[in-house]
Amino acid sequence: MECAYLADTFCPAEQKRLWQKLALGTQQADPFCSGPLWQLSFHAAVSPRRRLRIRADDGAVLAFAEQPLSDGSVALTPIESHWLFGACLLGRAAPALLEGWLGESGTRIFSKILISGIRPRGSRAASLLQRLEKDFRVLHFADGLQCAASLKGGLDGFLARRSANHRQKLAKARRRALRAGIVFERHAPRTAEEAAPLYARMLAVERTSWKGIAACGMTEQPARQLYAVLVRHLAQEGLARIMFARHEGVDIGFIFGGKAGNVYRGQQFSYHDAWKRWGIGNLLQVEQVRWLCEEGACRYDMGPLDGEAMRYKEHWTEKRLPLQSWLLLRR
């Protein structure tokens, strides 16, 4: 079955459940961002006018959106087409489903097709390449590297996999924070009405952070709208995990992410610039891991490990998950 959606409408529940199941069960580099909550939140917030092309059959899902080109032709791209975190081919039968669909007469209008979330050394990549080469030139478009940490063994197990120096710094920062009266407040909203004031508090903290001061954080568009939609959708599924660091009744930091099954994907964290020497960001990470371990989560995903600004994630993660995007040009 295929559905094509306009504006900010969503998939039928049955199709959405299959999409989510496959995102979690087919060893994606980024399971959360391969699923419908992330992809459709991006669509609703950033590119609602694009036509969605979502096809599900034989236990596989293809998740694309149309992109009109200046020459009058039409391209297919991942729905979330900015960072290319997620996989748009889900399930073992996805390469065969894509091959068959692109062979239909109605898909001849797609002169270019961008596929994201490919695990470069996987058997599915080889199968996909073999099936597509006869009709398309397959070009390497982009590389990515995601990072994650196991939560096996709970918080103690997680910390044991960090360096001794890092553990000492965290312990020292925690003792200092406790003496100063810093507390951590957990929130798992379950409705849009509960999520809205929490998001307003996050934005208020962000404005006081270095990102807010430099106008490069989630207070700026389109990030502000994207995360507003994502927080709302996560809350409606009971999957948002939000924590605030507070001092004397005032928010001084926050951390926010969402769960997909027993995988947590971090999205944003920030803290008041005046508290930067207190290691608030590090303490929020530890407290979030503590909470997730209490809930039985098994994996903590921190997203991309690209560029100097992301190097701090090396201290927190031990898994490296490469992914690629390919551009197909019709022969």
Q: Which residues contact 31 (CB under 8 A, 6 or more apart)?
A: 23, 24, 260, 261, 263, 265, 301
Task: Give the pLDDT confidence of 213-237 residue by residue, as tens digits.
Answer: 999 999 999 999 999 999 999 999 9
Domain ranges of the chain: 2-145+322-330, 152-297
56 in Cβ contact with 1 (< 8 Å):
yes
* SS3 at position 200: helix
Whether 152-297 and 2-145+322-330 are alike in CATH topology: the answer is yes
- DSSP secondary-structure letter at 73? -
Using 50 as the pLDDT threshold, list the residues of the chain that sit under it.
1-8
pLDDT, tens digit, for every residue of 170-225?
A: 999 999 999 999 999 999 999 999 999 999 999 999 999 999 999 999 999 999 99
The pLDDT value given to residue 309: 82
**CATH of segment(s) 152-297:** 3.40.630.30
pLDDT at 237 (0 to 100):
95
As a whole number of angstroms, the distance between CA 10 and CA 217 comes to 28
Q: What is the pLDDT of residue 10?
A: 56
Burial code of 287-318, b = ≥16 C-beta within 10 A, e = fewer? bbbbbbbeeebebbbbbbbeeeeeeebeebbe
Q: What is the pLDDT of residues 235-263, one digit of tens each?
A: 999 999 999 999 999 999 999 999 999 99
Q: What is the pLDDT of residue 5?
A: 39
Q: Under CATH, which number does the domain 2-145+322-330 receive?
A: 3.40.630
| 156's tokens | 């103690």
- pTM for the complete prediction? 0.93
Output the pLDDT for position 306.
86
